[in-house]
Amino acid sequence: MRPRPKPLMVLCFVLLMAAIMAIQSPPSPGPSRALKDAAARMKAYFPENPPPKGWQVAAISTRAGAVWVDLRLPEPEAASLSRPPFQALKQALGRQCPPQDDIVWRVLSPTQDIEIRAMAGGERAILAVSCRALGR
């Protein structure tokens, strides 16, 4: 017959494990430091390199391993550029990407990206381009 553990010993073990679990911090669900730094750089990039006349930077945020730059297009231009196959809009958005020698690319890891999104009609995205995929 096996001896039973003493209740005080079991209580100590449970309290010790609870303390260890409470001390350990869970993984951070927020954006990485690199994405935050890249978003800050993009906020400085657009005043230095403004988008075309009439376009407005609506928001710069971090989501899903990328920095999203939302550009609001004026309605007439959005209507003319947003017809399939979207080639004109894709090229116009691609020109808004920072060049490969910009410091923002040294901050981001190879799996992180900058996505330039065209917004029209409120908060609806018409098209988005990946700056890393364009190689700009």
Q: What's the CATH number where 100 sits?
A: 3.30.300.250
CA angle at 103 for the pair 51 and 67, rounded to the nearest 5°: 60
In a domain, 25, yes or no: no
Contact 129, 93 (CB under 8 A): yes
The DSSP code for 102 is S
Residue 91 corresponds to which amino acid? Q
* Domain membership of residue 50 as a residue range: 33-134
In a domain, 18, yes or no: no
Distance CA 40, CA 45 (A): 9
pLDDT for 67-95, tens place per residue?
999 999 887 776 666 667 788 889 999 99
pLDDT for 14-54, tens place per residue?
888 888 877 775 655 667 899 999 999 999 999 999 999 99
In a domain, 100, yes or no: yes
Count of structural domains, the chain: 1
Task: Give residue 23's pLDDT.
Answer: 79
Residue written as tokens 């928001």?
A: 59
- pTM of the shown model: 0.73
In a domain, 9, yes or no: no
DSSP of 35-64? HHHHHHHHHHHHHHSPPSTT-EEEEEEEET
In a domain, 50, yes or no: yes
Residue written as tokens 């990407």?
A: 97
